[in-house]
Structure 1
Amino acid sequence: MRRPAAFGLSLCLLATLSVTVSAARAQGEAAPIPPACTAFDWSLMRELAWFSAPGLGEVASGDTVAADMPGAVLKLRPDAEVEFPVPPSKEPAPGTYGGILRFPALTTPGLYQVTLSEDAWIDVSQDGKTARPPTAFTVKRDCPAIRKSVRYQFGTTPILIEVSGAKRDAIKIAIAPAE
């Protein structure tokens, strides 16, 4: 069975997080994971590791991320300045931020999840014209590192992710196969 490129990277990042946490504990700097971060409807420990890793890459709105880069900090702009190819399915509040992120064509179709570090609205398209309906979502407001994760059924064409209604000008975002 061929695994997506993101799978190998996720194992590497989880191993890095494990070594980092082990080193911190050895130095008496244990950083406990808040209970809310383990109470999502599905595990987001992989995404928590990505979002906590040093050197998480930054991408500008409109960029395409590399297939082996499942997580990044997306730099946002005021929603009013973003030209969304697919109109947001929820009207952004005045004074909020948004952005567009593109992922290359997937090698393996299936169930994937898009995860955000902050409150924001997500619209996803694979044809650049219509939003795909999510199959499920999970939200926890008490987890300081992750706010929500939304699952979608994806084919093997490129993915357009639109983020809108964010309260800050940057947000951590990840896309990965559902576990």
Structure 2
Amino acid sequence: MRRAAAIGLALLAVAGDARAQEAGSAGIPPACTAFDWSLMRELAWFSASSLAELASGATVAPDMPGAVLKLRPDAEVAFPVPPSRAPAPGTYGGILRFPALTMPGLYQVTLSEDAWIDVSQDGQTTRPPTAFTVRRDCPTIRKSVRYQFGTTPILIEVSGAKRDTIRIAIAPAE
């Protein structure tokens, strides 16, 4: 319950900013509003200077919807679950953990950059996505992938990134 309440409070805190951005979307590139579902709250989160910066392997605080993950060369990352797609040479990867959710349901994992993600809740197998949306010409968000999650901790593995940092958020699907 605490995780759901914290996400709810975070959503309320940025809701005004997201609505303001949506209302004045003239400053937002059209591609950023053309995803298959609204990512306005994620745009606000990814633009916030308070987004925590975490090293690979870290766990996001229960009251935070996401973080800036510092990546390492893919070859140096010990992925608990082998990536389902081999990363290209010279790319970056990392691991980010989210605490157990208090409410099961449909959630979306959103990334700021091109990268491959594998998501697990048992640390051994990957969860299949239910849907995804990608826009390569949005400078703030690259893709969002939806998953059906239970109430156990979440492991996100990032691989194949071209940069050494990436913003990641998890939020209930709207």
Report the TM-score when normalising by structure 1.
0.90
How far, CA to CA, are the matches of 2:58 and 2:26 in structure 1? 33
Once residues 31 and 8 of structure 2 are traced to their aligned partners in structure 1, the CA distance between those partners, rounded to angstroms, is 25
**Where in structure 2 are the equivalents of 1:87-126 lying within 5 Å?**
87-126=82-121
Letter in 1 for 2:49: P
8 Å contact from structure 2 (residues 18, 40) kept in 1: no
DSSP 3-state at the match of 2:7: helix
Q: What SS does the aligned partner of 1:134 have?
A: coil
Contact 2:118–2:156 (Cα < 8 Å) also in 1: yes
- What are the residue-to-residue correspondences of 1:1-16 with 2, within 5 Å? 4=4, 5-16=6-17
Q: Displacement, 1:31?
A: 7.1
Distance in structure 2 (CA, Å) of the matches to 1:53 and 1:170:
15
Supply the distance in 1 between the matched residues of 2:3 and 2:97 (Cα, whole angstroms): 20
**CA–CA distance in 2 between the matches of 1:2 and 1:126?**
19
Deviations 1:106-154 (A, max 9, x none): 0000000000000000100000000000000000001000000000000
Q: Which runs of 4+ in 1 moved over 4 A?
A: 16-19
One-letter code aligned to 2:30: P
Q: Which of 125, 135, 138 lines up with 2:133 in the alignment?
A: 138
Query: What amino acid is aligned across from residue 11 of structure 2 in structure 1?
Result: S
Output the CA distance in 1 between the equivalents of 2:80 and 2:36.
30
Structure 1 counterpart of 2:164: 169
2:64 alignment counterpart: 69
Give 2:37's aligned amino acid: W
Matching residue's letter, 2:16: A
Q: Closer, same or farther in 2 for the Cα pair 1:77/1:144, shift >3 Å?
A: same
**How many residues are aligned here?**
171
Instruction: Give ranges in structure 2 of 5+ residues lacking alignment.
Output: none
Instruction: Report the identity percentage.
Output: 80
CA distance in 2, matches of 1:3, 1:103: 10
SS of 2:89 mapped into structure 1: coil
Q: Which amino acid aligns with 2:15?
A: L
Counterparts of 1:158 and 1:113, CA distance in 2: 15
SS at match of 1:128: coil
Length-normalised TM-score, structure 2:
0.92
The residue type paired with residue 140 of structure 1 is: R
State whether residues 126 and 160 of structure 1, in contact with CA within 8 Å, keep that contact through their aligned partners in structure 2.
yes
What is the CA–CA distance in structure 2 between the aligned matches of 1:122 and 1:7, rounded to whole Å? 25
Tell me the secondary structure at the aligned position of residue 153 of structure 1: strand
Per the alignment, residue 57 of structure 1 pairs with: 52
**Structure with the greater alpha carbon radius of gyration:** 1
